């Protein structure tokens, strides 16, 4: 469960699975599931939506997110192609011109774990 902070409702442009990174989409208050480090990270959804209607997005504070890779805790996280988070490693993303970091993972876990992240999106531009 998220610790209350800034949670905003957006129109979903497609299916967004629960506990995934959400990206800004074209239009007013439109969001989609993130598809990689180039996705303009907005926050994390708890419930998701399969009906393409509306979705609540945790835009700051702490929220549960699905790990797409293994974390030891304390790493910065970026979205993968499925909207899960993977650890940020500069060498892995050396070829990417823009990297959207979602926040810092607060606990250890393997891929598939639902763990807490401190949602603090920022952009790295090379």
Residue 86 lies in a domain: yes
Q: Which residues contact 51 (CB under 8 A, 6 or more apart)?
A: none
Domain co-membership, 66 together with 119: yes
The pLDDT, as a whole number, for residue 22 is 96
Per-residue buried b or exposed e for 97-115, using 16+ beta carbons within 10 Å of the residue's own CB: eebbbbbbbeeebeeebeb
C-alpha separations of 99 from 9, 79, 112 in Å: 25, 9, 22
Give the pLDDT confidence of 107-117 residue by residue, as tens digits: 999 999 999 99
What residues contact residue 94 under an 8 Å CB cut-off, 6+ apart?
Answer: none
Count the domains in the chain. Answer: 2
- Look at residue 1 and tell me if it is in a domain: no
- The verdict on residue 81 lying in a domain is yes
If asked whether residues 66 and 121 sit together in one domain, one would say yes
What per-residue confidence (pLDDT) applies to 121?
94
Report pLDDT digits (tens) over 51-66. 778 999 999 999 999 9
Neighbouring C-beta atoms of residue 83, cutoff 10 Å: 26
Residue 2 lies in a domain: no
Q: Hey, which residues does 30 pair with through a beta bridge?
A: 11
In a domain, 108, yes or no: yes
Per-residue pLDDT, 50: 82
Q: Does 70 map to a domain? A: yes
> Which residue positions in the chain have pLDDT lower than 70?
1-4
82 and 117 co-located in one domain: yes
CA 6 to each of CA 10, 43, 53, 95, 125: distance values in angstroms, whole numbers, following the listed order: 13, 10, 20, 33, 25
Total count of residues recorded for the chain: 126
Domain membership flag for residue 79 = yes
DSSP symbol at 109:
B
In terms of residue numbers, what domain contains 33? Answer: 7-58
């Amino acid at each position: 469960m998220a610790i209350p902070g800034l949670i905003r409702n957006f129109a979903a442009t497609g299916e967004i699975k629960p506990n995934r990174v959400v990206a800004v989409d074209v239009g007013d208050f439109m969001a989609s599931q993130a598809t990689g480090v180039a996705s303009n990270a907005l926050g994390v959804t708890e419930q998701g939506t399969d009906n393409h209607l509306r979705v609540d997005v945790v835009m700051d504070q702490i929220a549960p997110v699905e790990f797409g890779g293994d974390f030891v805790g304390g790493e910065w996280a970026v979205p993968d192609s499925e909207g899960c988070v993977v650890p940020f490693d500069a060498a892995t993303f050396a070829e990417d011109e823009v990297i959207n970091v979602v926040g810092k993972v607060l606990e250890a876990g393997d891929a598939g774990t639902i763990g807490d992240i401190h949602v603090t999106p920022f952009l790295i531009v090379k």
